[in-house]
Amino acid sequence: MRAIVSVFVICFLLSCQSQKNIIKSNVNAINEQPKLVIGIVVDQMRYDYLTRFYSKYGDGGFKRLMNQGFNCKNNHFNYVPTYTGPGHASIFSGTTPKMHGIISNNWYDKVSDSYVYCAGDTTVQSVGTTNKAGQMSPHRLKTTSFADENRLFTQMRGKTIGISVKDRGAILPAGHTANAAYWFHGADEGHFISSTYYLETLPSWVQAFNNTAKAESYLKEWNTLYNISTYTESGSDLNAFEGGFKGKKTATFPYDLKALSQTNRGYDIIKATPYGNSLVADFAIAALDGEQLGQDNITDVLTVSFSSTDYVGHNFGVNSKEVEDTYIRLDKDIERLLNALDTKVGKGNYTLFLSSDHGAVEVPSYLESVKVPAGYFDTDAFKTMLNESVVFNYSGENLIKNISNNQVFLDREAIKSYGLNLIDVQQELVNIIIEYPKVYKAYTATSMTSAEFSNGVESLLQMGFNQKRSGDVLFVLDPAVISYSKTGSTHGSALNYDTHVPLLFFGKGIKTGSTLQHTTIPDIAPTMSALLGISFPNGATGSPLEFVLEH
């Protein structure tokens, strides 16, 4: 009897012991989460900017992420339009405009019969400026970001801070529950600002940063970082395919930014040079201290969007010396940010990813000059044609309400009042549009909601189609055909030059390696959720990329 009892006691003790071990290992697992997650977006970064300028990068920036982290080399957007607002929303919410509702930067709103801006919000006030530039919030974003899920998971103890020169680049990544998002207001102020959606006044560290005249220090000469003759990865500095700044005859180095700021909206000119990225890096590094990010075991999230790359790309084009110099300098800013993270948060204590909100097309006029099919689409002429087409004018009433973002919005009330069938009208519109030069395809909204497409441009259109917000007819232009000026690059299409963007993971919990397996933008947020062991963003449609995570 006694023996049996002691066996029992021993078993009980053993089971207690193993129970303890389980609890202990769970505690360890929680402690092993990164102290800080940093999500970096480089606005308008094509995948090939990693490889094209590789020999110009130092060891501590892009190369460090590529070689010591995990490089998803075949990463794409899986929807159109490939614009900034939708891109930032999709990266952090793990889904597409179909679900998160950010269908463009600006779009025609059917309900109010007016244009709305993806981050615009007149119900909130500016903080840090009397200008309206602060009237912004994420209220049009329908779903949560992984940063929101981290806030919910940690009972709001894990912080979220969003930073960019662009308001939407700061606001959409940070999500609904962010402690703050900060963006740059140029004009005659040159400050980082926010909105009452987040806080009532700028914290003292932001005020202090704004008072350092950092922005002013970047109103200096922009010349190439290295001798321009070594920039063999881009076209000649002087060519017919670049825009340039108002007040300077040629789009050639060097640029006197102090002088040019007079004719280029004051401090706003900084945004359109690599120094805009430097300023964002300065501010992000200041935020590490100012917000005490990554200083305890509760994971914080910092989102940083480098947007100057987009302005430079739009102005000078994919093949320009200006773009090459901007990436060489961004590499240095990323190195600076990584070094600050190593010092302030600690090597191995943070996890970082880097991607882009869309790519960009080579300047079509340049492509034409080297015999690649490309061209320009005259949207105004197209609109006139559609508006004047007899079919859509009934008793002097135009059945077309709006044409924007390659979509046509019909006047549904008028269609009803004339006893017309909406689907027939949509189809008639498709029949007219498809005849138009440089239009590749056209679809009715009805086709977007009545069938499921699994591949091709149809699938990308469908993933970008939001039934409440999108138009009645969608059309797609020919490859490398854009509605834009004859100089500079733009983006928005379903083609590889716009969809193929970098995806790099680095730091705690991330394997070293690379893959050519196809990955998509909505996979990023679920991967970060899986790493943190938290819920996926509520509308996430992507899947965790298991091969990048250590287990």
The catalytic residue positions are 84
Site map for Zn ion, 71-110, x if CB under 5 A?
-------------x--------------------------
In the range 228-267, which residues lie near Zn ion by CB under 5 A? Answer: 237, 242, 251
Determine the interface stretch with Zn ion among 101-109, 152-160, 355-363, 500-508 (rule: CB under 5 A).
Answer: 355-363
H or E element that contains 122? none
d(CA 128, CA 210) in angstroms, rounded, equals 9
In the range 179-238, which residues lie near Zn ion by CB under 5 A? Answer: 237
Site map for Zn ion, 114-153, x if CB under 5 A?
----------------------------------------
The number of C-alpha atoms within 13 Å of 74 and in the hemisphere containing its C-beta is 6
Number of residues that bind Zn ion (CB under 5 A): 7
**Nearest distance in Å: CB 391, Zn ion:** 35
What's the Cα-to-Cα distance from 14 to each of 1, 2, 9, 24, 28, rounded to whole Å?
Answer: 20, 18, 8, 15, 21
d(CA 310, CA 271) in angstroms, rounded, equals 9
Nearer to Zn ion, 326 or 529 (CB): 326
Beta partners for residue 504, in sequence order = 71, 354
Site map for Zn ion, 500-529, x if CB under 5 A?
------------------------------
Q: Does 310 bind Zn ion (CB under 5 A)?
A: yes
Nearer to Zn ion, 149 or 237 (CB): 237
**Nearest distance in Å: CB 60, Zn ion:** 25
Q: Does 291 bind Zn ion (CB under 5 A)?
A: no
Determine the interface stretch with Zn ion among 106-114, 150-158, 193-201, 305-313 (rule: CB under 5 A).
Answer: 305-313
**Nearest distance in Å: CB 489, Zn ion:** 8
Which DSSP category does 228 fall into?
A: G
- Residue 174: which of 300, 74, 273 has the closest Cα? 300
Determine the interface stretch with Zn ion among 144-152, 154-162, 309-317, 381-389 (rule: CB under 5 A).
Answer: 309-317
DSSP per residue, 279-333: HHHHHHHHHHHHTTTT-SSS-EEEEEEE-HHHHHHHHH-TT-HHHHHHHHHHHHH
d(CA 78, CA 159) in angstroms, rounded, equals 30
Nearer to Zn ion, 208 or 238 (CB): 238
Report the C-alpha dihedral over residues 114, 119, 124, 125, rounded to 10 degrees.
-110
**Nearest distance in Å: CB 187, Zn ion:** 20
The torsion angles phi and psi of 274, rounded to 5 degrees, stand at -60, -20
For Zn ion, the binding residue among 148, 325, 335, 357 (CB under 5 A) is 357
81 upstream amide cis, omega within 30 of 0: yes
Nearer to Zn ion, 242 or 333 (CB): 242
What does the angle CA 477 – CA 452 – CA 498 come to, to the nearest 5 degrees? 35
Which DSSP category does 548 fall into?
A: G
Nearer to Zn ion, 354 or 414 (CB): 354
The single-letter code of the amino acid at 282 is D
Q: Does 309 bind Zn ion (CB under 5 A)?
A: no
For Zn ion, the binding residue among 39, 43, 305, 359 (CB under 5 A) is 43
Residues that bind Zn ion in the complex, under the rule CB under 5 A: 43, 84, 237, 242, 251, 310, 357
